[in-house]
Amino acid sequence: MNSKKKLKTYNITYRPDADNRYNTKTVTYKADNIKDAKRMFYKEHPEQKAQHYIEIHSPLKNYAVNCENEKLAETSTYNDNDTTTDNTNTIHPLKMKFNILNIFKLVNDYVKEITMLLIGLIPLLLLGVVLFGDNFFLGNVVVYNIQNILDDMAGFVGIMTLLLIVYFYNRTTDK
């Protein structure tokens, strides 16, 4: 148990006399959880084990205690360099640091996926031109650009360029 951890409050209502259901008493315990509070109650009132009537109430302020305990648990994992304290001895984590490498990796992944999408469209557009003719959606543009590569680079160099494009396409899609 963390020494700075705050205990929650539990109100236990019981019947001191089992025959009188209108006579009840309530005691309050500070504990980590309901089981601990129940254990403390039965230790203090062992005669109540046979009664089988107790009600355990958890006040709303226990939610605030839970939040504070979670914050303490989170801040206790930080190094001393990553926290500051004020005069009330409350631990405040410093601003979150972001890693620029993660941002570059994320952008690189998005660019790669968009490129793969566009490269994957090329064979579909070529197939569309073969099946539906030159008026197929953007297919004639793809065929025209491939013809321009071959014409501008004097045939053999154009074919080598296309082979390099296919090589890099296969290399990137194998992963």
Backbone torsions φ then ψ of 135, nearest 5 degrees: -85, 10
Q: Say if pTM beats, i.e. exceeds, 0.75.
A: no
Query: What contacts 30, CB < 8 A, 6 or more positions away?
Result: 7, 8, 9, 10
Domain residue extents for the chain: 8-93, 100-173
Cα separation, 54 vs 40, whole angstroms: 13
Note down pLDDT in tens along the chain; length 175 residues: 445 778 888 888 888 887 777 888 888 888 888 888 888 888 888 888 777 678 887 777 777 787 787 887 777 654 444 454 445 555 555 555 668 888 888 999 998 889 888 878 877 887 787 787 777 777 677 777 777 777 777 767 777 777 877 777 677 665 5
